[in-house]
Structure 1
Amino acid sequence: MSEQNNSLEMAVNSLATEMRRNSYIQAITGMSGNTKRPMLYQEFGYPQQIEFNDFYRIYRRNAAGFAVVHRLLDGCWQDLPVIVEGEEANEARETTAWEKNVTRLMKKHWAKVKDADRRNMVGRYSALLIQVRDNQTWDKPINTALVKSLKDKALVKLIPVWEQQLTVAEWENDRLSDDFGQPKMFNFNEMPVGDNKFVGPTRGEPVHPSRVIIFCEGAEDESALSGIPLLESGYNKLLDLEKISGGGAEGFLKNASRQMAAEFDKETDIGTLDAQAKKAGYADLGEAMNDKFTRLNRGTDAAAVMQAGRLNVLSVTPGDPAPTWTVTANELAASVQMPFTILFGQQTGRLASDEDKTDWAIRRNGRRNGFLTDRITELLTRFWQIGIIEPPAGEEVTVSWADLLAPGEKEKIANMKDMATVAKDTQSAYGTPAFTEDEIREVGGYDPLPEAEKPKGADESAKNIDPLTGKPIEQPTETRQPDNTAQQS
């Protein structure tokens, strides 16, 4: 047994040594993977390691970084989901009391859920802290008995927090536990992140996992440390966009600032000019010339008079940044799976095509029905586990989103018009329309027309009713044969 333990220990130590070696090599050679130019990241000015503060600053200060986050955020939350008790097929039936109660409760907290999603996009993870009235400190499990007695009145608020504000204090190390490898306790620090100033009192205390809902997109192993920030793969491209736009602006500024240069011919006596400058109170000729140029650039109507020299404006013709910027912006758009025209809007008359719109709708549909549905379901499950709401029937809940690929009003009207044309043509050709009136109305999102009442006397039982008087028509009791004897004779 000891030999097996020694072998296992040696294998673990060898693996740890190899991991440290790889980390050291990456730190020296960079992260680019370019074996010919291992220092490529340093030459381009890219950071070797990207931390939360790097993501936060580029989100707050970089226009494209801010647009990436909010395009996806607002696109996914352009409408709110419908909470359905039970399976998705139950959405069509009448709203239950449980659904009404949950809809009323979540109406006050959707903004906090959306904000937790925003913070998750910027960092590797974010969280929602559930603050309840349970007479317990936050490092203790929620007192479910007290919460169940208060129900939704026990919920004080949901607190969205950044990655930097919530860290893991202790992990579950019991290998026999179902929660092995999951956080056993969190540390919460409410201090502002980034360059935000400290305002008002803040909290800093351990928090039990029963009070935390983690938002960690991309971490399918449910590890809070393996989330993928939205801006990570395109981080270098965001820096490149700053270089291109900032460099272009700097070149324009230098040309517009009208930097001057004085050129004297060889007969000019520089010594005499220097002596005159000193006599005027300047340290030397250079200081005098700088003062004249400063005054010349400061005044729009200033003039310069030269006797034996010539004034030149230092200017360069900057390169057109548009092609380089466009290539870099397309790489950024690809890294976040967002069409260029959707991310940056109209550029030189180019509008988003139908393919771009469809691709963008698929992207948002997938995120809504995947990650967001999972987090909302987890939040609702926690609510009924701790007693804020009653559990749904069968403890099953469905989060239903509107289909972003569904046609809009204009498309619906166009489809109805096309179907009506086909129905008219098939009616003329074959005597039977290909679509009924109600089928065409259904495509447009309209309810079927109510069935018209049948006219009186249309059914078999009313055939013997006089339509004028409404009274029964007397029927003959005998069947008489016509007398044809006279004709026969």
Structure 2
Amino acid sequence: MRDRVRRMFPWAYAASSKHDYAKDYGWPECLEFEHFHRLYKRSSLAAAAVDKTIAKTWQTMPAIWEGETPGETPAEADISKHFAKRNLWRALMDADRRSMVGCYAGAILLLRDGKTLDQPVDRVAKGIESLSSIIPAWEGQLTVAEWDQDETSETYGDPLFFQFDEQAVGDPQNVGRRQVRIHRDRILIFSDDGTVNCSSALEPGFNDVSDAEKIKGAGGEGFWKSARGAPMLESKDGLSIEDMMRGMGVATPDEIRDKLNDKVDEFQAGFDKAFMLSGFTAKPLTITLPQPKEFWEPCVQSFAASMSIPFKVLVGNITGERASTEDAAEWAQTNMARRANRIVPILNDMLDRLVRWGVLEARPWTIGWDDLLDASPDEKIDRAVKMATINQTLGSEPAFMADEIREAAGFKPADEVKGFDEFLRDRQERQRRAAEDGPVQTIPDEVTE
């Protein structure tokens, strides 16, 4: 209520400090969803920060396992096939993207239960096919229509119904779409804590991006004006207003300005225009611009810090192998933490609902996801080479078993590779025959699949 009164009567809540930074620096006093959405759509920095975070978090799509480890069971295969066919993981990823721009976002679950969206979910036909689709929704499309006011309810104070506006956000031409009332059972809320009471990821760095855009825009405008600036017109001594009126054929002094502006506009319409004035001297307006990089980079660095993204990752300028490796490791750790603390709890909530509704059987379902900190294929091979080198150094007492080296290189143990035992027996037999026929010769290693 206080915030609403502040917006209605800002003069009554004037800042008591010496400076009003928002007013002095041209920053919005109150930020709404429209500010963040426009920033994401029009600012390359904001779009890069959001899209790169989503791309890294969802670098690989998760999977649903029946236990702590993948069992490759028929149920897991059916779920994986259905999610891929219906692009359900992609829809959840898009909901996560929208939640970074707004204070929250929604993922609307479309179920084959024969009920309208404003009805709570009771029981659904068994099988993952009962989850037919998922619709990601912006904060600007999804608003709370009714709160749970039952003081005896476990969800007291939480949204009970949402209103979904089918009109696309930021598209004024897309009018005439419906507004649908949706029960909370059918909506997953994506935010930092799973509620609608969060803030946009772009809010802490909003002023930094605004300043960076001002510097970039001013630099571009300044260079344009320096290349084709408005001329400064000087009249010769003794030239009166009446003389200029007669020379230009106008009746009032105000028309002099209009005539001069028309001449200047015609001159600035192209680089090959001539500029002729009688009784005036035209001098170019010279603009000296400082190097904007020195002012632009601190703004971008501050914005990158607000998004917990390394500066070099944000702008794509990786210099130095060590620096890039450390930045990549830190970036992977940040997104692993984001997965664990933000995304996985939401996906677990979805699994709990599917089990409660009867879509999935009651089993210890787990969200499985590849580790972003896993070594690259080249790094794994280098590690295996080092392990093999240590074995050669130690001689008869190797420090690592062959399967350990294979695992370090990213391959299965030998006894799990089909045909590997036959390959070893055949090789040993050929070596034995070669030894019987003469001196032992080096037999090239065969390449097997």
Separation of aligned partners in 2, 1:58 and 1:305:
44
Higher relative contact order (CA 8 A, sep 6+): 2
Q: 1:446 aligns with which of 411, 416, 430?
A: 411
Residue 125 of structure 1 aligns with which residue?
A: 104
Which range is displaced more, 76-85 or 263-272?
Answer: 263-272
Which range is displaced more, 323-332 or 264-273?
Answer: 264-273
| Greater Cα radius of gyration, structure 1 or 2 | 1
**Structural mapping, 1:79-478, within 5 Å:** 79-86=60-67, 88=68, 90-91=69-70, 94-107=71-84, 108=86, 109-144=88-123, 147-148=124-125, 151-198=127-174, 202-217=177-192, 219=193, 222=194, 224-263=195-234, 265-266=236-237, 275-278=246-249, 290=261, 292-298=263-269, 300-303=271-274, 310-346=281-317, 353-392=324-363, 396-427=364-395, 431-449=396-414, 450=420, 452-453=424-425
Q: Is the 8 A contact 1:278 1:284 kept in 2?
A: no
Separation of aligned partners in 2, 1:17 and 1:73:
35
**Structural mapping, 1:32-43, within 5 Å:** 36-43=17-24
Given residue 114 of structure 2, which amino acid in structure 1 is its aligned partner? N
- Structure 1 unaligned spans of 5+: 1-15, 457-466, 468-489
Query: Displacement of 1:296 after TM fit?
Result: 4.4
User: What's the TM-score once normalised by structure 2's chain length?
Assistant: 0.82
**Number of residues paired by the alignment?**
418
Separation of aligned partners in 1, 2:211 and 2:284:
30
User: What's the TM-score once normalised by structure 1's chain length?
Assistant: 0.75
Q: Is the 8 A contact 1:259 1:315 kept in 2?
A: no
Query: Displacement of 1:25 after TM fit?
Result: 9.0
Going from structure 1 to structure 2, the CA distance change for 1:240 and 1:132 (only over 3 Å counts) comes to: same
2:38 paired with 1:53: no
Going from structure 1 to structure 2, the CA distance change for 1:51 and 1:274 (only over 3 Å counts) comes to: closer
- Structure 2 unaligned spans of 5+: 415-419, 430-435, 437-449
Separation of aligned partners in 2, 1:354 and 1:84:
32
Going from structure 1 to structure 2, the CA distance change for 1:332 and 1:301 (only over 3 Å counts) comes to: closer
Identity of aligned residues (%): 32
Given residue 101 of structure 1, which amino acid in structure 2 is its aligned partner? D
Given residue 216 of structure 1, which amino acid in structure 2 is its aligned partner? S
2:29 paired with 1:64: no
Q: Is the 8 A contact 2:234 2:282 kept in 1?
A: yes
Going from structure 1 to structure 2, the CA distance change for 1:350 and 1:434 (only over 3 Å counts) comes to: closer
Given residue 245 of structure 1, which amino acid in structure 2 is its aligned partner? K
Q: Is the 8 A contact 1:342 1:356 kept in 2?
A: yes
Query: Displacement of 1:114 after TM fit?
Result: 1.0
Given residue 206 of structure 1, which amino acid in structure 2 is its aligned partner? R
Going from structure 1 to structure 2, the CA distance change for 1:417 and 1:45 (only over 3 Å counts) comes to: same
Given residue 75 of structure 2, which amino acid in structure 1 is its aligned partner? W
Separation of aligned partners in 1, 2:167 and 2:13:
34
Q: Is the 8 A contact 1:341 1:350 kept in 2?
A: no
